[in-house]
Chains A and B, each alone.
Chain A
Amino acid sequence: MNKLFEDLIGAFGVSGHEEEIRSVIVENLNFLEVENKVDSMGNVIAVLGKSNGDEEKKVMISSNMDTMGFIVMYIEDNGFLRIGKVGEFDESTFVNNMVEFENGNSGRVCGTKDSPKIDEMYIDLGVESREEALELVREGDVCTITSNVIEEEKNIIAPALDNRVGCYMSLKSIEKLIENKESLEKLNKEIYFVFSTQNTLGGRGARAAAYEINPMYALVIDGEKAGDTLGGSGKFSLGKGTGIKFMDRTLLMHHEVKEQLEKVYEKMDKKPHYIFGETQGEGKTIHKEGVGVKTGTLVYPVRYKDTNMEMVNYKDIEEGIEVIYNYIIE
């Protein structure tokens, strides 16, 4: 596992508090000498290529950099923290785990009963009073579930692989594009790479980016649940390649983007998987912005998505980078 990947999955970045992950991405872009900026919503936007003002040639490639987590809403007199959820996930699975705050302090997630809902959960900091707690955290602070990163031969197991893997794939495709000077020169499109914020809260960062950039096409890179586990459903399997998400709850993939991606897979001599997504994605807010954006989603399989030990396959990551790169230069 290389340093960039390590830094990406290790950086703190709960929705609305993405400072740390943002600086990792900006640092990498600066290292690659790619011009970038941060907009009003905290999105990082980098542009490569040039067009001669032709609207047709503006493409946005979006991966969200935020993660889900918990937020402190109320500190009891005896120092326990009442919490809220940031993002859509099954909170009860995180009882009896440790959490880590942005400032490095930790706490233990507990429930007031079995299989608790969020308002029956709290964090124990090991203090005795509200005053002591306030020395460690404040109301409004956010935290993530602490976890380990385990490198296996074929797979990586870690929290937040969805969607830091997406960010990694975007950054690596940028790197590849820069290395291939000839391709970059010949590129007659403007590619806007967006590392977006507040995705877990409903694609809020991506919407603002789409508004500003006003692209013709948008490709969202996202993780999608792999169904090849015991008790799992759905056809997406780990290690068998990336996929085209033709429909989810909030986006019907635009037929032009579908055809473009199909061409890319054909060129790579690979067969894409066709995935139906059960949940929402960032494309939801992008495609309806302004006068409309032709939008589609490229997905990579993630086992145990939205848990603190997600599993992604290295080969799938490599393929993803290839697909994005080929999509850009097509």
Chain B
Amino acid sequence: MEDKELLKNLCMSHGPSGREHWLGDYVAEVFSEFGQVTRDNLNNTIVHKKGKGKGKIMLMAHLDEVFMIITEIKENGFLAFKGNGIDPKTLVSKEVIIHGKETIHGIIGIKPPHLMKEEDRKKAVTIDSLLIDTGYSNESLEKIVKPGDYVTVKGNYKELLNNNVSVKTVDDRGGVVALYRCAKELRNIDHDMDVYFVCSAQEEVGHRGAKTATNRINPDIGIAVDVTFDCGMYGLEHGDTELGKGGVICIGPNIHPKVRKHLMKVCKEYNIPFQLEVEAGNTGTDAWDIQVAGEGVATLLISIPIKYMHTSVETVNMDDIKNTGYMMAKLIESIKGEEVEELVCF
């Protein structure tokens, strides 16, 4: 399957934190040709691609997306909700999907400006001031929806210039596609290490799935694949990260220095473009929990640069996804079984 097709299928689907198993079957189907697929207690999906049993490497991208959750059914078919990880400003005038007994559509609108007070017009929108309009009568609505039901944003896949694509949930289904790309590359490669591809759960609520998946696998090396900000007009103030220049390799205490330097060497050897960023502490990704799980894991973080993170128009360059998958495959190829101990030790 082409990367673009997989990205579209994954991102247009819905899998909020805690309900990753809604995507579980599709992901299992996609990855089943590479090895055995299992699911753990927190809904992490784990794919085991056998190598020669000499060392274990785990690649992890999170499957869950930011979400909203219904807290109350108000009058006239309106629903009150709480959000997680979504800027309320981006929810105004948005179409959403409500996952109740059935899946129904909703619209988040706001008070028309001419009815707003002067101060309201200036202030930023808050979650508490928004409501989801379902268009149903309360009587019918109550049969379909109840508090605790999940709501996700409706996706709209768009192909832009220069091999850029815009769709919701590139964070982090773009990472899952990079994992898939890596798996495809490994089909023709002899690798000593056993490879575990993990589509992790509940990253967006505090990378909760990462720890338990890592505990179960107990790998020697763990690579978290996530997304990062670019340094353009609406990105980070300082830095040089750009879309299309390659996956961003992280440097810092969360990252194992030797393995990271080895990865950079591999990239230079095969002319795989990459970028660098520094994180002085918590990287805010699964990498933070991977490092101190199991018996301690030599950890890497590779991030795919995107624009407009946590909005429904996240924009990514397909070459960056491809190159991230490719650099991981080449890294795995380059590590001989007997070199693992030396590589991860201090």
A positions within 8 Å CB-CB of B: 216, 235, 244, 246-247, 250, 252-255, 258, 274-276, 287-294
Whether A246 contacts B21 by the Cβ 8 Å rule is: no
**Any A CB within 8 A of the CB of B71:** yes
Residues of A within 8 A of B166 (CB): none
Of all chain A residues, which has the CB nearest B202? Answer: A252
Stretch at the interface among B208-216, B254-262, B309-317: B208-216
Residues of B within 8 A of A289 (CB): 212
Residues of B within 8 A of A244 (CB): 148
Interface residues of B in 197-219 (CB under 8 A from A): 202, 205-206, 208-209, 211-213, 215-216
- 10 A-B contacts (beta carbon < 8 Å): A246-B148, A253-B148, A276-B69, A276-B147, A288-B42, A291-B212, A291-B215, A292-B44, A292-B213, A292-B215
User: For A252, A254, A255, which residue has the most chain B Cβ atoms within 10 angstroms?
Assistant: A252
**Any A CB within 8 A of the CB of B4:** no
**Any A CB within 8 A of the CB of B19:** yes
Partner of A293, one of B41, B69, B71, B146: B41
Residues of A within 8 A of B3 (CB): none
**Any A CB within 8 A of the CB of B82:** yes
Of all chain A residues, which has the CB nearest B82? Answer: A276
Residues of A within 8 A of B213 (CB): 292
Partner of B205, one of A252, A290, A294: A252
Report, nearest first, the 7 A-B pairs whose CB atoms are least far apart. A292-B212, A252-B18, A246-B148, A292-B41, A274-B147, A292-B42, A274-B148
**Any A CB within 8 A of the CB of B333:** no
Extra inter-chain contacts (8) besides given A253-B18, A288-B208, A294-B42, CB under 8 Å? A244-B148, A255-B21, A274-B147, A290-B215, A291-B212, A292-B41, A292-B215, A292-B216
B positions within 8 Å CB-CB of A: 17-19, 21, 40-42, 44, 69, 71-72, 82, 146-148, 202, 205-206, 208-209, 211-213, 215-216
Measured CA separation A287–B146 after assembly (Å):
24
Partner of A274, one of B18, B146, B215: B146
Residues of A within 8 A of B82 (CB): 247, 276
Whether A276 contacts B42 by the Cβ 8 Å rule is: no
Of all chain A residues, which has the CB nearest B146? Answer: A274
Min CB gap B254→A, angstroms? 18
Partner of A247, one of B42, B69, B209, B215: B69
Partner of A288, one of B21, B211, B216: B211
Partner of B41, one of A247, A276, A294: A294
Of all chain B residues, which has the CB nearest A276? Answer: B71
Of all chain A residues, which has the CB nearest B17? Answer: A252
Whether B212 contacts A246 by the Cβ 8 Å rule is: no
Residues of A within 8 A of B41 (CB): 216, 254, 291-294
Residues of B within 8 A of A250 (CB): 206
Given A247-B148, A274-B147, A291 and B17 contact (CB-CB distance below 8 Å): no
Given A276-B69, A276-B82, A287 and B147 contact (CB-CB distance below 8 Å): no
Min CB gap B1→A, angstroms? 29
Residues of B within 8 A of A246 (CB): 69, 147-148
Whether B216 contacts A291 by the Cβ 8 Å rule is: yes
Whether B212 contacts A288 by the Cβ 8 Å rule is: yes
Measured CA separation A235–B147 after assembly (Å):
10
User: For B82, B148, B208, which residue has the most chain A Cβ atoms within 10 angstroms?
Assistant: B148
Residues of A within 8 A of B18 (CB): 247, 252-255
Of all chain A residues, which has the CB nearest B44? Answer: A292
Min CB gap A17→B, angstroms? 29
Residues of B within 8 A of A276 (CB): 69, 71, 82, 147-148
Residues of A within 8 A of B17 (CB): 252
Measured CA separation A275–B148 after assembly (Å):
8
Measured CA separation A289–B216 after assembly (Å):
11
Residues of A within 8 A of B146 (CB): 274
